[in-house]
Amino acid sequence: MSTIRSDFPILNQQVHGKPLVYLDSAATSQKPQQVIEALARYYRQDNANVHRGIHALAERATAEYEQARLKVARFINAASSKEIVFVRNATEAINLVANAWGRANLRPGDEVLITQMEHHANIVPWQLVTQATGATLRYAPVTDAGELDYDALDSLLTGRTKVFAFTAMSNVLGTINPVAELTAKAHAVGAIAVVDGAQSVPHLPTDVQALDVDFLAISSHKMLGPTGVGALYGKRALLDAMPPFMGGGEMIREVFMDHSTWEDAPLKFEAGTPAIGEAIAFGAAVDYLDALGMDWVHQHEMEITHYAWQRLSAIEGLRIIGPGPERRGGLLAFTLADVHPHDVAAVLDMQGVAVRAGHHCAQPIHDRYGIPATTRASFYIYNTPEEVDVLAAALERARELFSF
């Protein structure tokens, strides 16, 4: 653990005179030295535009950029790196599918099914595309325990469903959804499965071929990589059949006055100069996680989460939302009596503890539980049980301050 922590220079600092305890990795993870260095090295040595140049730097930048694509493909066991489209973030990945696949395939009478536990990134693009195409948006409900309501889900998946889009792990409830099972249910009614992997890919081993998902949205900045880059995995046949989402340079084969022809996927979806250095550093983040092993990452987070669950549940007035620790990933969102989550987070911040407070870009699931907001502690590879102790002590301090 001390070797991992020493790779993250940012963790070694004081905040308000207290050692920083960073428990906000579900919002964005910290970056190891290896990722920071990969980004700096690219700008120091190799900076050039990709795919067009015929000079040494351009060839090097292109090779590294394509190598990063291959690393991401291998990380999720995609059949080919041609199935990986670099985008800006998980949000853009979902918007790409909603626009490119959705506008070409959705008609009035068709249905898009999402769940009540989605992040806004997997809600709003579907609202926009169903409004534009005349299709209908439906929501699969969530139980009091924070799981999908499978009976309701089965009755909502029908021959009208063309898309079933769901998160692999909720960023509020922590619920880990059974992706293979849900994908099979979608396929059984002839729908495609679009999976939001923003919270799962950084934390769990992912094998897109075994899961048989059609599309998977991935965020680099939540898995040790830089901001400004993410990936969309899409099955080759689907990507090939889809029209482009954005037009411009890089994505074309030929441009005439009245029409253009496209590059093959994935370049067809990468209009304009991409985030080259960021994609290369994303590749370095994948290398870092690969070296740790995703089984280790998951195991480590399970241990921290079990411990945090035990410590936090013992705090009077604290209510964790979502399923028990054995069925969730490495985060706990909670309320503390009727103290506003922003006040809780401000008190924790004074103790050096960084957590998130608010609706975490997931208002419908908060509405489901009749609460406007929660405080969320989220864990990653660099967190320790001692940090959970600091969190628990800081929450006790908040209880004293708000005197209940």
Verify binding: residue 161, ligand PLP, rule CB under 6 A: no
- Residue 90 · residue 217 · CB < 8 Å: yes
Q: How far is the CB of 125 from ligand PLP (least distance, A)?
A: 11
The residue written with tokens 């769940």 in the block is 115
Verify binding: residue 29, ligand PLP, rule CB under 6 A: no
Of 88-96, 300-308, 317-325, 364-372, which part binds ligand PLP (CB under 6 A)?
Answer: 88-96
- Residue 378 · residue 26 · CB < 8 Å: yes
Pick out residues in 112-131 that bind ligand PLP (CB under 6 A).
119, 121
- CA–CA separation, 230 vs 227, rounded Å? 8
Of 198 and 392, the one with the shorter C-beta distance to ligand PLP is 198
> Integer distance in angstroms from the first to the last C-alpha of the chain?
37
Verify binding: residue 301, ligand PLP, rule CB under 6 A: no
The site string for ligand PLP over 165-204 (x = CB under 6 A, - otherwise) reads --x---x------------------------x-xx-----
Pick out residues in 220-239 that bind ligand PLP (CB under 6 A).
230
Pairing of strands 215-219, 230-234: antiparallel
- Residue 378 · residue 356 · CB < 8 Å: yes
Q: What is the DSSP letter of 94?
A: H
Q: How many residues bind ligand PLP (CB under 6 A)?
A: 13
Verify binding: residue 383, ligand PLP, rule CB under 6 A: no
Q: How far is the CB of 197 from ligand PLP (least distance, A)?
A: 8
Give 40's contacts (C-beta < 8 A, 6+ positions apart): none
Of 360 and 399, the one with the shorter C-beta distance to ligand PLP is 360
**C-alpha to C-alpha distances, 110 to 130, 161, 393, nearest whole angstrom:** 9, 6, 52
- CA–CA separation, 296 vs 282, rounded Å? 20
Could you list the active site residues? 361
Answer for which of 91, 95, 305, 335 binds ligand PLP (CB under 6 A) is 91
What is the signed CA dihedral for 386, 392, 394, 396, rounded to 10 degrees?
A: -150
Q: How far is the CB of 27 from ligand PLP (least distance, A)?
A: 6
Q: What is the residue type of 202?
A: P
Answer for which of 30, 62, 133, 219 binds ligand PLP (CB under 6 A) is 219
| Contacts with ligand PLP, residue ranges (CB under 6 A) | 89-91, 119, 121, 167, 171, 196, 198-199, 219, 230, 361
